[in-house]
Amino acid sequence: MRKTTLMLMTASVLALSACKQDSKNTDAGSGTDRPATTGMLGAAADKAKAKAAVAAIPQPDATKALSSYPEIDSGMQIMFLYVAASQLPPDFIKLAETYSSEYRETNDSFRKNDLMQAIRPQLEEKIAIAKSMPYGWMEIDDSDNLDAYDFERKGFPIDEFESERYRYINDAYQYKLSWANHGQVAFAPVPDKAIARQLEAMRTNYSDKPKLKIFFFAQSADLNEQKVNAIVTRVQITDKSGRVLAEYGPDGSVRVETGDDAKSACDTGDATACDAAQAAADAAAM
């Protein structure tokens, strides 16, 4: 009898011990056993998470007029766009060293403090402007903006967007702009043959190279490289006077020539440009 009792007690202890171990395995955290979602449900959940992550990233306003984009011609502007896009508390000492040569060069602690009191409100104002207007345009006048005309695709490869690269301006060279969607704008469709012929002639003429006017939205910041990840919203190809010869967007849409455009081209006295613009306007009207 004594032996039987001991055996029953031992069995009871082992059973309790096993139940406790199972409880750790199944009740950890939430108190229930939740198997990982797999198969079609898991794929759907991952897709939903990815979609939500993309939706959380700021996107450009497609209805925003290009005329409202400010010109970016200073590295300081890129710096403020970077700070605004980073969504981090500004490092005012670091910003002041870039913004003010006097602040950067003085070793007088009291003078630095006095300068900071004057500079900080200016920095805060410019950051606020960058947050409210995360748009801009930049002119690129490199000699190799356009590659040779592609007869099959009817347009020009754009060297600026062929690979991931960045732009900076010397007054604040440590802050950069990078074209996040460069692949979407790496080819400029120019369906009008007269305009294409004119651009090809300009491309091979060193004194009359076409320029790029790049409109963009400052979407996010690369904190490791002090770089603005910019979404290109529109690209214009212009002559050296700034007259728009071709225009396109990331979706492949192109600019439609109008009679006013033809008149403007003819007013310049350039017969070739006048003929090309008039031909484009006539084609659009048909």
Domain extent listing, the chain: 74-255
Question: Angle, to 10 degrees, between the axis of helix 75-86 and the axis of helix 92-99?
Answer: 170
* pLDDT, mean of residues 111-116: 98
Distance in angstroms (rounded) separating the CA atoms of residues 66 and 81 = 18
Average pLDDT over residues 72-81: 98
Please say if the pLDDT value at position 35 is more than 70: no
Numbers of helices and strands, H then E, in the chain:
9, 8
At 166, is the pLDDT very low, low, confident or very high (cuts 50, 70, 90)?
A: very high
How would residue 249 be classed by pLDDT, with cut points 50, 70 and 90?
very high
Relative to beta strand 227-238, strand 176-179 is: parallel
Residue 51 has pLDDT above 90, yes or no: no
pLDDT at 19 over 50: no
More confident residue, 113 or 31: 113
Task: Tell me the C-alpha to C-alpha distance, in Å, between residue 244 and each of 17, 236, 239.
Answer: 81, 6, 7
Who wins on pLDDT, 149 or 16?
A: 149
User: What share of the chain has pLDDT > 70, as a percent?
Assistant: 70
What would the mean pLDDT of 73-102 be, rounded to a whole number? 97
- In whole angstroms, what is the distance from residue 235 CA to residue 238 CA? 10
**Count of C-beta atoms within a 10 Å radius of residue 172:** 20
What one-character-per-residue DSSP string does 70-136 give?
PB---HHHHHHHHHHHHTS---HHHHHHHH-HHHHH---HHHHHHHHHHHHHHHHHHHHHHHH--EE
Residue keyed to tokens 């491309």: 203
Q: Is the pLDDT of residue 115 over 90?
A: yes
pLDDT band at 55 (very low <50, low <70, confident <90, very high): low
pLDDT at 172 over 90: yes
Handedness of CA 261, 263, 269, 271 (dihedral sign): positive
- Indicate the average pLDDT of the chain: 82
pLDDT at 165: 87
Q: pLDDT tens, 257-280? A: 555 555 555 554 555 555 555 554
What is the mean predicted confidence (pLDDT) over 96-113?
97
- Is a pLDDT exceeding 80 seen at residue 46? no
Average pLDDT over residues 33-42: 60
Residue 43: the pLDDT is: 63
**Confidence grade of residue 24 (pLDDT, cut at 50, 70, 90):** very low
Cα 250 vs. chain centroid, distance in angstroms?
12
How confident is the model at residue 1, as a pLDDT?
A: 47
With tokens 């090309």, the residue in question is 276
